[in-house]
């Protein structure tokens, strides 16, 4: 749109060419770290599930707030990414200025105190040395005059800041607002005449829910001489509210008085609320998508069940049941996503426990002596890992229930998962009869083993098969690494 063109100052001839590469080249030439920017864009397009927000520095000194999220249709199909750019240069500069001003005020107060103490010491020295020569007395007076001159210069510099419209400045004590510049008076909707007439009821300018923040500010002022900038609100003259960022420095301890520096952040707060509302809306839409996908998969399961009831061939019935279980494993993923707190990840332990319990229930005739153990705690994965792992678990659990315990009445089937910063280790094990030495994932024609091999490749995982004391499949799955920009 035109706002994007103006923000990046893209020439008309490049816009008219409609060549993406030329537009991207024009943009990257304005970035301080264009290689990092391009690497980040590449990463986000490779990971459509990612949302990203970060600040971008331009070579002309501006700072942009960049937000990006993926776009999906109602059918869950990925369309691309949407990019929002907002110029926050003035906001960043204002935040820096209020910190600098607070530090500068402390420095000036300290310097002024030192200057006055030095001048006072010199005056005392003059009184103690009444017998000194007139020339020495004159020297001391000149030094005193220099100190007062420096003090007057410092006051003039502060006056220029006070009269500027960069930031609101207010002087106050526990009883009233004693003085303020026009910028702050404009923020709260009052005039200088209102201030002179005492029309500003200072104790009523702060909403009740912000009183505690003001008390913390006073406590910090008393103990440290200044307070960390914090957000709050003021009532305006018309009872509307203005959001501000406030920092303060102590002027007098008894009775206490202080100077405050106030920055209007109303527009920033409104923008933040709009972004949060938009994110909440998108999360609700994603939950609805997962819900509908789960319902559609459940319909497929029901249709397969109708076909099973009409079939007489045991081989066909078993094949359809296997298909049912595979679809059910995928449906469970979507169910856990839309019911969970985090729409992007699911609790792997809870998911596989539900999957395994359902399979045990389905195959319980003649299998009552088999115990199902699961040891997976506080491991969360996204849908790209959950679905392949669920389908692998489905095939291996069914295989154990069908064949591993055919010659014994009891046994244990267990699922174990651990993780570190680089890998997820997942194990499916049973203490049944074990599989023959010649059977591997690569040389078998069975649908189940071929699916396991396919999903292992999809996860870029390696698998280790242990045939001692039953059968144990261990999958070593590398975690996806976020591409980090180079310095």
Whether 125 is in a domain gets the answer: yes
Pair 259, 147 in one domain: yes
What is the pLDDT of the chain when averaged over all its residues?
80
- For residues 179 and 205, state if they share a domain: yes
In this structure, are 382 and 443 located in the same domain? yes
Tell me which residue range forms the domain holding 182. Answer: 92-268
Residue 413 lies inside a defined structural domain of this protein: yes
CA distance 360 to 430: 14
Q: Rounded CA gap, 10 and 27, in Å? A: 7
CB 68 within 8 A of CB 83: yes
190 belongs to a structural domain: yes
Report d(CA 201, CA 52) in Å as an integer.
45
* pLDDT band at residue 281 under the 50/70/90 scheme: low
Do 123 and 77 lie in one domain? The reply is no
In this predicted model, what pLDDT tens digit does every residue of 348-388 receive, in sequence order? 888 888 888 888 877 764 455 788 899 989 899 888 888 88
Domain count, the chain: 3
Arithmetic mean of pLDDT, 473-483: 81
Q: Which is more confidently placed, 88 or 320? A: 88
469: left (phi over 0), alpha (psi -120 to 50) or beta: left
pTM: 0.45
| 96 and 82 within one domain | no
Higher pLDDT, 282 or 69: 69
Q: What is the CATH number of the domain that holds 411?
A: 3.30.565.10
Q: Final residue of a domain: which of 87, 109, 141?
A: 87
Q: How far, in Å, CA of 200 to CA of 202, rounded?
A: 6
Are 72 and 138 within one domain?
no
Query: CA–CA separation, 198 vs 20, rounded Å?
Result: 61
Say how far residue 134 (Cα) sits from the centre of its chain: 71
pLDDT of residue 182: 87
* pLDDT-derived band at 109, boundaries 50, 70, 90: confident
Bridge partner list, 430: 413, 471
Residue that finishes a domain, picked among 69, 87, 105: 87
Residue 484 has pLDDT above 50, yes or no: no
Q: Is the pLDDT of residue 332 over 80?
A: no
Predicted pLDDT at 438:
64
- Report yes or no on 437 lying in a domain: yes
Do residue 400 and residue 482 come from a single domain?
Answer: yes
C-alpha torsion angle, residues 286, 287, 291, 296 (rounded to 10) = 0
The mean per-residue pLDDT over the stretch 87-109 comes to 86
Q: How far apart are CA 200 and CA 111, in angstroms?
A: 33
| Mean per-residue pLDDT, 412-440 | 85
Q: How confident is the model at residue 310 (pLDDT cuts 50, 70, 90)?
A: confident
Q: 227 and 119, same structural domain?
A: yes
Query: Residue 73 maps to which CATH number?
Result: 3.30.450
Q: Which residue has the tokens 């699961």?
A: 374
CB distance 433 to 394 below 8 Å = no
pLDDT of 288: 60
Which of 68-82, 148-162, 175-189, 390-404 is least confident?
148-162
107 inside domain: yes
Kindly indicate the confidence band of residue 419, based on its pLDDT and cuts at 50, 70 and 90. Answer: very high
CATH code for position 103? 3.30.450.20
Does residue 303 form part of some domain?
no
CA distance 223 to 227: 9
pLDDT at 19: 78
Range with the poorest average pLDDT among 8-22, 35-49, 238-252:
8-22
Residue 284: inside a domain: no
Of 216, 241, 268, at which residue does a domain stop? 268
In the prediction, which pLDDT does 481 show? Answer: 72
| Same domain for 484 and 400 | yes
d(CA 60, CA 20): 23
Q: What is the pLDDT of residues 127-149, one digit of tens each?
A: 676 565 666 656 666 766 676 66
pLDDT of residue 297: 66
Please report which helix (H) or strand (E) contains residue 357, including its range.
helix 348-362
Is 445 a residue whose pLDDT tops 70? Answer: no
Query: Do residues 103 and 230 share a domain?
Result: yes
Instruction: Give the Cα separation of 438 and 345 in Å (integer).
Output: 38
Residue 313 lies in a domain: no
HSE (side-chain half, CA atoms, 13 Å) at 359: 31
Backbone angles phi, psi at 176, to 5 degrees: -160, 170
Please name which of 91, 101, 113 lies closest in space to residue 226, comparing C-alpha atoms: 101
Kindly state whether residues 422 and 367 are assigned to the same domain: yes
Query: What single string gives the DSSP state of each residue in 272-292?
Result: HHHHHHHHHHHHHHHHHHHHH
- Partner residues linked to 250 by β-bridges: 258
On whether the CB atoms of residues 308 and 321 are closer than 8 A, the answer is yes
Is 76 in the same domain as 108? Answer: no
More confident residue, 134 or 23: 23
């Amino acid at each position: 749109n035109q706002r994007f063109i103006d923000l990046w100052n893209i020439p008309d001839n490049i816009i008219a060419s409609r060549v993406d590469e030329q537009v991207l080249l024009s943009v990257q030439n304005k970035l301080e770290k264009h290689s990092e920017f391009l690497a980040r864009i590449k990463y986000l397009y490779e990971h459509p599930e990612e949302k990203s927000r970060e600040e971008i520095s331009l070579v002309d000194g501006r700072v942009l707030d960049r937000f990006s999220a993926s776009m999906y249709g109602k059918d869950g199909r990925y369309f691309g990414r949407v990019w929002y750019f907002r110029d926050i240069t003035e906001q960043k500069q204002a935040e820096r200025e209020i910190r600098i001003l607070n530090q500068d005020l402390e420095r000036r107060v300290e310097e002024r105190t030192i200057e006055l103490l030095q001048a006072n010491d010199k005056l005392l020295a003059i009184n103690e040395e009444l017998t000194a020569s007139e020339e020495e007395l004159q020297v001391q007076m000149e030094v005193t005059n220099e100190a007062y001159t420096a003090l007057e210069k410092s006051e003039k510099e502060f006056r220029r800041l006070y009269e500027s419209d960069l930031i609101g400045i207010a002087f106050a004590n526990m009883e009233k607002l004693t003085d303020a510049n026009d910028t702050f008076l404009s923020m709260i909707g009052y005039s200088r005449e209102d201030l002179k007439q005492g029309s500003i009821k200072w104790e009523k300018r702060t909403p009740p829910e912000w009183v505690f923040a003001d008390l913390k500010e006073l406590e910090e002022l008393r103990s440290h001489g200044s307070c960390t900038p914090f957000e709050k609100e003021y009532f305006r003259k018309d009872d509307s509210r203005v959001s501000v960022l406030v920092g303060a420095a102590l002027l007098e301890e008894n009775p206490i008085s202080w100077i405050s520096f106030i920055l209007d952040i109303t527009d920033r707060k409104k923008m933040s609320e709009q972004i949060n509302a938009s994110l909440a809306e998108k999360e609700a839409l994603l939950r609805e998508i997962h819900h509908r996908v789960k319902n559609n998969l459940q319909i497929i399961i029901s249709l397969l069940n109708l076909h099973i009831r009409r079939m007489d061939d045991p081989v066909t019935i078993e094949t359809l049941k296997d298909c049912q279980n595979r679809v059910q494993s995928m449906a469970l993923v979507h169910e856990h996503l839309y019911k969970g707190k985090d729409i992007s990840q699911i609790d792997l332990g809870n998911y596989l426990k539900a999957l395994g319990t359902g399979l045990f229930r389905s195959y319980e005739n003649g299998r009552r002596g088999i115990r199902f153990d699961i040891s997976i705690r506080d491991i969360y994965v996204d849908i790209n890992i959950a679905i392949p792992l669920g389908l692998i678990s489905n095939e291996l659990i069914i295989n154990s229930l069908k064949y591993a315990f055919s010659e014994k009445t009891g046994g244990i089937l267990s699922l174990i998962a651990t993780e570190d910063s680089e890998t997820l280790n997942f194990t499916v094990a049973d203490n049944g009869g074990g599989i023959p030495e010649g059977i591997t994932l690569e040389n078998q024609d069975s649908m189940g083993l071929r699916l396991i091999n396919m999903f292992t490749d999809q996860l870029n995982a390696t698998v280790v098969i242990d045939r001692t004391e039953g059968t144990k499949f261990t999958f070593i799955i590398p975690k996806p690494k976020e591409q980090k920009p180079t310095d």
